Amino acid sequence: MNIKSHCKDLWKHPPGVLYSTLLGLVAFSAAVPMFSAGAWDSALVDLIMAAMLIFLMLKNLASGTQKTQRTVDKYAAWALVVSANILALVPAHEFPGSLSTAFAFSSLICAFVLYFSGAEAALLCTAPALWCCVFIPYHSELMLLLSYPLRLSATMLSGVILRMLGIGAVYQGTSLTLPGLNIAITDACSGINQLDAFILIAFIAVRMMQSKTVWKIVHFSFIVPSIIIGNSLRIALTVILFRIWGECVLQDSWHTALGYVQIILAFAIFLAAGRIFSADNGKEKEQEKC
């Protein structure tokens, strides 16, 4: 099937085109402040992810059969509208309380889809709605919120790895204390700056490696553990190289190079987990055939 005929198929569900246009406008308007702040890389990655989610939603809507509306779906849509209004009325001026407004807006979009296209379409709309209405508008706040748990986990795990290697390491909070060396794990060292790109690459990998929805969700949820393990190995490797070559390892060029090593390690761990899930998925298929 060529691109022209594929695009024609997407227009078989006119309400889906309307939903996609609405979500696209929301995503672009939310990314404008990121462009203005100079965060071009994060904004572009988030928009690409939004476009992929919207495209998959529209593709699934176009390929499915349009069902007659059920009364229960309309009642559920009105209930969702009421809940969205309650969320919007919650007094919240600062993050994370202000997230209630974002969730209210995404709920309104899902309620609109639920009322006119049914529960299945609303379910397909949930992920792109949350990404466009919640994640992109509150990108920097969510990144800061995730940064500390990532740093704390990586510090603890790297301390355990170093002790297993016979290196005396004491960790407290997000700091590591070793003989002749103190390491503070900052936001830049947490792996949070690569999270956007990692989510996009991981999403593509999951789509290619997994066939069942359950295994896709399980595999995709392994993003954060992969980043933590990769960062812990990078910290441990930094300490080992410091003991061999000294303070030159702490220079910017080494720090950047080890940052790339962290990304490679995290993605390798993520792919390895995907292979395990794929193997389990294959066993399930063989059992179903038997």
- In this prediction, residue 239 carries a pLDDT of 87
Per-residue confidence in pLDDT tens, the chain, 290 aa: 454 555 555 566 677 888 888 999 999 999 999 999 888 988 999 999 999 999 988 888 877 655 566 788 889 999 999 988 888 887 766 666 678 888 888 999 989 888 888 888 888 899 999 999 999 999 888 888 888 888 899 899 998 999 898 888 888 888 888 887 888 887 767 777 778 888 999 999 998 888 888 888 889 999 989 999 998 999 899 888 888 887 777 777 887 788 888 889 999 999 998 888 776 555 555 555 54
168-206: per-residue pLDDT in tens? 888 888 888 888 788 888 776 777 777 888 899 999 999
The domain boundary residue, chosen from 137, 167, 201: 137
* CA dist., res. 215 & res. 176, Å (int): 36
* Shared-domain flag, residues 155 and 275: yes
- In this prediction, residue 214 carries a pLDDT of 85
Spatial CB neighbours of 113, under 8 Å, sequence gap ≥ 6: 15, 19, 121, 122, 125
- In this prediction, residue 135 carries a pLDDT of 92
- In this prediction, residue 1 carries a pLDDT of 46
* Shared-domain flag, residues 278 and 165: yes
**Tokens 């466009």 map to which residue?**
132
At CA 10, angle to CA 28 and CA 217, rounded to 5?
A: 70
* Shared-domain flag, residues 239 and 107: no
Quick one: tokens of 67?
């069902």
* Shared-domain flag, residues 216 and 268: yes
- In this prediction, residue 11 carries a pLDDT of 60
The domain boundary residue, chosen from 97, 115, 137: 137
Task: State the residue range of the domain holding 270.
Answer: 142-289
Q: How many CB atoms lie within 10 A of CB 121?
A: 23
* Shared-domain flag, residues 10 and 103: yes
The structural domain count of the chain equals 2
| Residue 177 β-bridge partners | 170, 182
* Shared-domain flag, residues 174 and 222: yes
Instruction: Report the chain's mean pLDDT, rounded to a whole number.
Output: 83
Rg of the chain taking only CA atoms, in angstroms: 23
* Shared-domain flag, residues 184 and 216: yes
Quick one: tokens of 221?
């949820």
* CA dist., res. 160 & res. 257, Å (int): 23
Percent of the chain with pLDDT over 70: 87
Single pTM value for the model = 0.81
* Shared-domain flag, residues 161 and 279: yes
* Shared-domain flag, residues 127 and 33: yes
* Shared-domain flag, residues 105 and 192: no
* Shared-domain flag, residues 114 and 231: no
| Residue 171 β-bridge partners | 176
- In this prediction, residue 126 carries a pLDDT of 92
Q: 38: phi > 0 → left, psi -120 to 50 → alpha, else beta; which?
A: left
Distance (Å) of CA 247 to CA 3, 130, 155, 228: 55, 45, 20, 25
Contact 142, 224 (CB under 8 A): no
* Shared-domain flag, residues 168 and 246: yes
The domain boundary residue, chosen from 80, 111, 137: 137
* CA dist., res. 23 & res. 225, Å (int): 30
| Residue 175 β-bridge partners | 172, 184
Sign of CA dihedral 209, 215, 221, 225: negative
